[in-house]
Amino acid sequence: MALAFFLLLSPLLAQKGDYIRNAETFIDQKKYASAHSILNAAIQDRGMLPALINPMIDNVLKHYFMQRDFEVFYLQDYSNSGREFNFESVYEFPIVAFRHPDRLLKKVIAAHPQFAWSYKLLGDFYDLQLCDDANRQLLPDALADDLRGKVYENYHRAVQLGYNQPDVNRWLGQYYREGKQYRIAKQFYQKNLELGVEDPETFCRLAEIYLYEKQYSQAYNSAVRGLQMYAHLEPELRYETTRTAALALLNIGEEARFVDYIFECIQLFPDHQSAYIDLLEYYESKDDWLYGQKMIRRMLFNNPYDHKGYYYLEKFCARRNDYEFADALFDEMMGRFEHFDEAMGNIYRFRGNLLFYQGKPEEAHKIWEISKSYYSRCLPPDSPLIKQVGDVRKGASIK
């Protein structure tokens, strides 16, 4: 007899609390299909109660091992070793399928609109589609914006109904932070602090907001709290938070420590240009032009693709009215990257810019044509990058 039917007949599961407790036990044992069967049986027995439907869908969204088009989700039981059960095991159905969790949640919300968790789960369903890497790459911008709006709508409603948990607070904090509504973003991150949650992303994002608000000591302290949980941070966030700590230190006069932190950023991602530029601006303020040349060279050799570094090179040369360094650097880069068309396109493009800024437009146009020829080898004909070549006004990018 299938486990779900056995449990349905058991008098120990006559109350919904028993269903939930037994389902939680199976979830703890990584028997997600069995937990689903219990809760599904409970709904058949007790009706469409949010107290049963919400944990069932929470199990589906957290523990599915496969899904099809975000319409069908599959759950399975695992043995104590973490392996899947074989069909010959004592469990008759080690895998279950569940369709359209969003439809069921919408029905629950329509019947019981006061349950915050239902809205939160519906937000989770939409957020899954944004978080899935393969799906996100296929989403048109308009559809991605629509999904993001649905996540926000449901999470915001959950909060209005009293939901106060780290994942939703973090998501809403990020939503408002990206919209540059820093005051509201900070409120959501601070909710997590009030909950006593040791959430590294909360500390890291708060550090960014404090830096924006010029509360430098708080920015540094919050960044350090996040970095103390280094192993739990994605590498990109480690970089951003280390850079935040560095900039906070610079603004409170801790210059040597600023340099140490910036070099940590560069070691973490040698191809990211932002930390190089922070360091270059610092040494430029000290009139250490020779060290600046060394770091520009290091920056562009580690990343000849991003344009931020080239724009800095233009400003660097213009401030000193010295273009010989750039000429020598470009010659060296052309030897290193001669087989990389996009990098060569960049080198010729910005070499042409520097000639234009020196009052040599005819020479600049010849160099820009070479840049376009390199870009055309690796970019589509309608690429905005090709159209940008030579689109400069004298001094436009070196103010």
pLDDT for res 399: 45
How many separate helices (H) and strands (E) can be counted in the chain? Answer: 21, 3
**Nearest-angstrom CA–CA distance, 151 and 157:** 10
* pLDDT score for 131: 86
pLDDT of residue 46: 87
Tell me, what's the pLDDT at 262? 98
What integer pLDDT is reported at residue 294 of this predicted model? 96
Task: Please state, in angstroms and rounded to a whole number, the distance separating the CA atoms of residues 168 and 61.
Answer: 15
The predicted pLDDT at position 396 comes to 46
Write down the pTM of the prediction. Answer: 0.83
Given this model, what pLDDT does residue 107 score?
96
| Of residues 392, 305, 307, the one with CA closest to residue 357 | 392
Low-confidence ranges of the chain (pLDDT < 50): 1-14, 85-91, 394-396, 399
Position of tokens 């376009």? 372
